[in-house]
Amino acid sequence: MMGEEDFLAAAETLLLQLEDAIEAAAAAAEIDIDIEVQPGGILQLEFEDGSQIIINRHAAAREIWVAARLGGFHFRPEGKVWVGTRDGLELWTSLSKQLSLQAGVPVVLARRD
* pLDDT tens digits, 93-107: 999 999 999 999 999
Q: Which helix (H) or strand (E) holds 96?
A: helix 91-103
Compute the distance between CA of residue 102 and CA of residue 57 in angstroms, rounded to an integer: 21
* Residue 110, in any domain of the structure: no
**Domains of the chain: total:** 1
Domain that holds residue 9: 4-103
pLDDT per residue as tens digits for the range 27-74: 999 999 999 999 999 999 999 999 999 999 999 999 999 999 999 999
Q: Could you tell me the pTM of the whole model?
A: 0.93
109 found inside a domain:
no
Q: Given strand 33-38, what is the order of strands in its sheet?
A: 33-38, 42-47, 52-58, 63-68, 71-78, 81-84
Per the CB < 8 A criterion, the answer to whether 103 and 112 are in contact is: no
CATH classification at residue 58: 3.30.920.10
Please state, as a whole number, how many other Cβ atoms lie within 10 Å of the Cβ of residue 34. 11
